[in-house]
Amino acid sequence: MGSALMATEDAAQAVLLLRLAGPMQSWGDQSMFNRRDTRPQPTKSGVVGLLAAASGHSRETPLGDLLGLSMGVRVDQEGSLLRDYHTVSDYQGRPLPQAGVSAKGIQKPTSPPKYTHVTQRFYLQDAVFVAALAGPAAIMETLAEAVTHPAFPLALGRRSCVPSQPILLGITTEPILEALTNQPWQAGTHLRTAFEKRHGRLARIDRMVTVEADDGDQILHDEPLSFDPHDRRHTTRRVTHLWRSIPTGFPNPRPSEGPGSPQDPFALLGW
């Protein structure tokens, strides 16, 4: 009986809920030449990387228990896109080096000489997401402790993008979709105030949710297999996008009826 109970406990699943909020976030899944883009939602590789950092894993450490976790994301505050434009020059006015090297392994100067290098990086400003990760309960509890007391600084996609609020929302035994549907709205004060002025204290609001699904209609190449700088590997996963009515969390809310209700088509546009 004791062994059977232990096996049941080991097999129990749980969902870890994280709030991803900060002045800037950047969830890139590709970089081409001098351009580094961001996706409109957190990537799985970015969130798993955050958990790996919290757990004290170096980049060379195998992902181990972090492999195979299921993930869902809810967009609570879309934010806006920021383009960060950079120019790079040599402080002594010399031509910039090119990628090619000489027989001695020294980079050659650009030919014809190039004195300014342009790069562009993209970020999400003022965005808020709720991420849900599902896996064995014991692992989720360990990860919850890790993000509360991280071994390495946590970042929202890039090292310069630090969280502005505590990340951990909690652990639940609900399935991912239910957990993302039942978690109260995490938008910032200014957005909540604007919503309340326009619609009043409605009990619910529609938000977009992205969850993994075997028959999902979109394929993303952001499932991490290794973060080793000499062996970085990712694979694909399928996701589906849904709209869910979630609690706003307003005190003394009124029923969600009329404009702004989950049945109102304009609510999907944020009107």
What's the pLDDT band for 146 if we cut at 50, 70, 90?
A: very high
CB neighbour list of residue 66: distance below 8 Å, 6 or more residues apart: 48, 51, 52, 55, 57, 224
Q: What is the pLDDT of residue 253?
A: 85
Every domain of the chain and the residues it spans: 12-269
Q: What is the pLDDT of residue 11?
A: 63
What does the pLDDT look like over 232-260, one tens digit per residue? 899 999 999 999 999 999 998 887 654 44
Going by the DSSP 8-state scheme, the letter that residue 206 receives in this structure is E
d(CA 169, CA 167): 6
The answer to whether 244 and 256 are in contact (CB under 8 A) is no
CB neighbour list of residue 187: distance below 8 Å, 6 or more residues apart: 76, 77, 128, 195
Backbone angles phi, psi at 61, to 5 degrees: -70, 130
Q: What average pLDDT does the segment 27-46 reach?
A: 84
Q: What is the pLDDT of residue 94?
A: 84
Q: What is the pLDDT of residue 259?
A: 46
Q: For domain 12-269, give the fold.
A: Alpha-Beta Plaits (3.30.70)
Helix (H) or strand (E) holding 155: none
Q: What average pLDDT does the segment 109-124 reach?
A: 83
The answer to whether 234 and 246 are in contact (CB under 8 A) is no
The predicted model scores a pTM of 0.82
Cα-based distances in Å from 163 to 23, 24, 144, 167, 184? 8, 8, 16, 7, 19
Tokens of 18: 């994280």
What does the pLDDT look like over 50-106, one tens digit per residue? 999 999 999 899 999 999 899 999 999 999 999 988 888 878 888 888 777 778 778
